[in-house]
């Protein structure tokens, strides 16, 4: 058994459990087609989409699926999120970040804190993530977090904001 932290604190960020009061901040980046382009969920069309996500977060917590919102130290407004799904000896993770905060290393900093925690769990042998083969910025984040590219997963994921057919994805991992 393990304890899942409700918050992580890094040099510049606090990652915390989502709250229903975060709906407007999530909708702000969830409705941005540039932010959601490579996501495996559709661009938000109303704040209700963000509320649905928050309800799902609350329901999944404790089932070895966890979501934390990224906030700047000193400002509790969500600027993005990191999620992790633990399955037996491994965990995958993903992230999203408001475009206003791209290029500042926040996705790397937030993801690294979650990856480090996952590897603090003695049963975790592998942490992995995927990104669309055209998503160069995301691939770079995964490399900065310490993951290595293993290969290409052919027709791996539907990116509904690009097309309805599955697209190729790079798979990255870090192993113990």
> What are the φ/ψ torsions at residue 157 (nearest 5 degrees)?
-140, 140
Which helix H or strand E contains 77, and what residues bound it?
Answer: strand 75-87
In the structure encoding, which two tokens stand for residue 166, read together? 């599955």
Per-residue pLDDT reduced to its tens digit, 113-149? 999 999 999 999 999 999 999 999 999 999 999 999 9
Pairing of strands 13-16, 7-9: antiparallel
How many Cβ atoms from other residues are within 10 Å of residue 134's Cβ? 15
Strands 75-87 and 166-175: unpaired
CA 145 to each of CA 94, 112, 115: distance values in angstroms, whole numbers, following the listed order: 12, 5, 8
Domains, the chain, in order of start with CATH, read 7-124 (3.40.630.30)
What predicted TM-score, i.e. pTM, was given to this entire model? 0.96
Taking each helix axis from N to C end, the angle separating 106-120 and 136-145, rounded to the nearest 10 degrees, works out to 40
- The DSSP code for 105 is S
What are the tens digits of pLDDT across the range 42-98? Answer: 999 999 999 999 999 999 998 999 999 999 999 999 999 999 999 999 999 999 999
For residue 169, what are the β-bridge partners?
Answer: 132, 153
């Amino acid at each position: 058994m393990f304890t899942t932290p409700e918050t992580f604190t890094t040099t510049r960020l606090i990652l915390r459990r989502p709250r229903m009061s975060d709906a407007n901040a999530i909708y702000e980046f969830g409705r941005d087609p540039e932010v959601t382009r490579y996501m495996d969920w559709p661009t938000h069309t109303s704040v209700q989409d963000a509320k649905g996500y928050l309800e799902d977060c609350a329901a999944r917590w404790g089932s070895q699926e966890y979501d934390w919102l990224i906030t700047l130290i000193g400002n509790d407004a969500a600027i993005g999120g990191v999620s992790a799904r633990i399955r037996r000896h491994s965990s995958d993770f993903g992230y999203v970040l408001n475009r206003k905060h791209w290029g500042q290393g926040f996705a790397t900093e937030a993801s690294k804190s979650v990856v480090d925690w996952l590897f603090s769990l003695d049963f975790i042998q592998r942490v992995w993530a995927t990104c669309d083969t055209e998503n160069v910025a995301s691939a770079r984040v995964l490399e900065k977090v310490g993951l290595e590219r293993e290969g290409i997963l052919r027709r791996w994921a539907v990116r509904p904001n690009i097309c309805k057919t599955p697209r190729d994805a790079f798979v990255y991992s870090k192993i113990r």
